[in-house]
A and B are shown apart, each in its own frame.
With several copies, the nearest count.
Chain A
Amino acid sequence: MVRVEFLGPIQKEPLELEINNLNELSAVLKEDKEVSEWLESCAVAVNDALVTSLEAPLKDGDKISLLPPVCGG
């Protein structure tokens, strides 16, 4: 089971999912109307480290975060 959190302006409660990698997460979120429009502009972190590949395996207890476009300052 992994936990998926949506940060900043994405108004969505966290999900708990049984998935093995980010490819599977992509498939799930593309079907989710609240989130699908955000995917193009979101960065992804696994356990608070930004990732650049869909292939890294996920393990039980991992935390995945979706980060929409930022504007600090």
Chain B
Amino acid sequence: MLQLYDGALDVPTLLKEWHEEEASSNYGAYIPFVGTVRSEDGIDGLSFDIYEPILNSWFASWQKKAEEQGAIIKMAHSRGDVMLHESSYIAAVFSPKRRVALEFIDSFVEDFKASAPIWKYDLKEGKRVYAKERSTAIKGSGLLA
């Protein structure tokens, strides 16, 4: 399940809803990853653009991988502005097995960072500045160069 929200995520509510949704699914391990906007470099917050069609297919491919291991994933992300100490990202895995869950959340979050079609901007002095230095070219980039 992939949920997109305008602005910051309601972390306690999402963690609770996801836990309740799977309360009787007989998963032994539930690992959410919560990403929160840190105060650094004098930013006031972050802002996000998302390209949904490709995000959806990227997420569907990970859902399939999870299913093959008897696990499921859920994810929520913010669109637009998210201010300091607010959260913009939650990913979670549910699995019967501890090892599967620990390894899955790691590889899912890392591939999310490298591949999900989301663009990040620093909010600074009223401007929206593309976070170029922290961004990663998607695998296969440069095809047209």
Q: Could you list which residues of chain A lie within 8 angstroms of chain B, going by C-beta atoms?
A: 7-9, 22, 25-26, 29-30, 39-45, 48-54, 65-73
In the complex, chain B residues 116-138 whose Cβ is within 8 Å of any chain A Cβ? 116-121, 130-132, 134-138
Instruction: In the A-B complex, list the 3 residue pairs whose CB atoms are closest, starting with the nearest.
Output: A72-B118, A8-B119, A69-B135
Residue on A nearest B121 in the bound complex, by CB = A9
Is there an interface contact between B88 and A73, defined as CB atoms closer than 8 Å? yes
Which of A7, A43, A44, A72 is close to B120, meaning CB atoms less than 8 Å apart? A72
Once A26-B144, A41-B141, A42-B144 are accepted as A-B contacts, the answer to whether A68 and B57 lie under 8 Å apart by CB is no
Is there an interface contact between B116 and A70, defined as CB atoms closer than 8 Å? yes
Q: Does B18 contact A (CB under 8 A)?
A: no
Is there an interface contact between A8 and B132, defined as CB atoms closer than 8 Å? no
Residue on B nearest A48 in the bound complex, by CB = B53
**Main secondary structure on A side of the interface with B:** mixed
Which of A25, A48, A69, A72 is close to B144, meaning CB atoms less than 8 Å apart? A25
Once A22-B143, A39-B142 are accepted as A-B contacts, the answer to whether A71 and B118 lie under 8 Å apart by CB is yes
Docked Cα-Cα span, A41 to B51, in Å, equals 17
Is there an interface contact between A7 and B144, defined as CB atoms closer than 8 Å? no
